[in-house]
Amino acid sequence: MPDRIDELHEEIEAAPIESADDAEAFRIRYLGRKQGAITNLFQQIGDLPPEERPTFGQRVNALKQAAEERLEAATARLEREAQARGPSIDLTLPGRTPARGSLHPLTHTLHEILRILRRLGFETYEGPEIETDWHNFTALNFPPDHPARDMQDTFFLQDAPTDDPAVLRTHTSPGQIRVMQANEPPLRIAVPGRVYRNEAISYKSFCLFHQVELLYVDEGVSMAQLKQVLFSLARALFGADVKLRFRPSYFPFTEPSAEVDVWGDGEWMEILGCGMVHPNVFRAAGVDPERYSGYAVGMGIERMTMLRYGIDDIRVLYENDVRFLDQF
């Protein structure tokens, strides 16, 4: 005759455990310390005649073990299932529109500039941000102790070899050297990138900023072509009635050199440097200056961005303040 212990065995094997609540109810019902069915059986041992106690005890122990195993297996299975389902979400919450991201104004301006330049025939090339002193200065006709180096004080990397120190590039102009070393003219390239300077931080300068370098090398390139490209770029970027001013200037790597200002907000704003590539630069990069000529341009993306959007403090471009970024 099946007794209470056999009945409980059957119950335990058949009890549905489909949720954490089921598992807890199962535990309380069979294994609970106070009123659990198996606990109750243990308490009855004392009422039995002594010769029946060992067998009864063994059977109740086996029952308890079966209940514990059943509970453990069910809990493990529930956990596996929950993990496979992934994080639980509340499907009753009202729908929300996800916040729309947007490109940073600097990225936007940079993309726009490169897009216009591509139409003008300039391919994009990117050089390294950690440059050798030679590419950043020497090959660009800054002799080792030339005072022009001081205008572009930068960060030197400690572990670099002392005969050719590594520096954080101060401009994208070393890209000119790398492109000319690796390719034969004619060349028409744009080098975008981040540059670094050891500068006092203020509303108009930061220790890092972005530039796009242009280089055009071919036979018989003239300054008139340089002006034409800059006008085309400025018109596309700032509108057909943009006013530009070319001022004579000095850079070691161009001769003659000029700086270009754009008229905006009642004043002239400098946006770029440019000029005809110096013969020494051609020689350093392995291009024959007797045969080829070329122009180069270096423009500041921050300046262009500030002009386009009427931003008056460069630092807001790096603070990642969503109240600012939200406006674009």
Binding site for ligand DAH (CB under 6 A): 171, 173, 213, 251, 254, 257, 273-275, 296-298
Radius of gyration of the chain measured on its C-alpha atoms: 38
Instruction: Give dist(CA 264, CA 16) in Å, integer.
Output: 77
| CA angle (275 as vertex; 189, 216 as ends), nearest 5 | 20
Cβ closest to ligand DAH, residue 64 vs residue 210: 210
Instruction: Give dist(CA 67, CA 69) in Å, integer.
Output: 6
Cβ closest to ligand DAH, residue 192 vs residue 275: 275
CB of 124: closest distance to ligand DAH in angstroms? 16
Q: Which one, of 73, 49, 315, lies nearest residue 204 by Cα? A: 315
Instruction: Give dist(CA 109, CA 199) in Å, integer.
Output: 24
Cβ closest to ligand DAH, residue 12 vs residue 110: 110
Compute how many other C-beta atoms are within 10 angstroms of the C-beta atom of residue 262: 20
Query: Does residue 172 contact residue 195 with C-beta atoms inside 8 Å?
Result: yes
CB of 172: closest distance to ligand DAH in angstroms? 7
Burial of 73 (0-12, 13-18, 19+ CB in 10 A): exposed
CB of 271: closest distance to ligand DAH in angstroms? 11
CB of 89: closest distance to ligand DAH in angstroms? 52
Cβ closest to ligand DAH, residue 67 vs residue 296: 296
CB of 284: closest distance to ligand DAH in angstroms? 14
Cβ closest to ligand DAH, residue 131 vs residue 213: 213
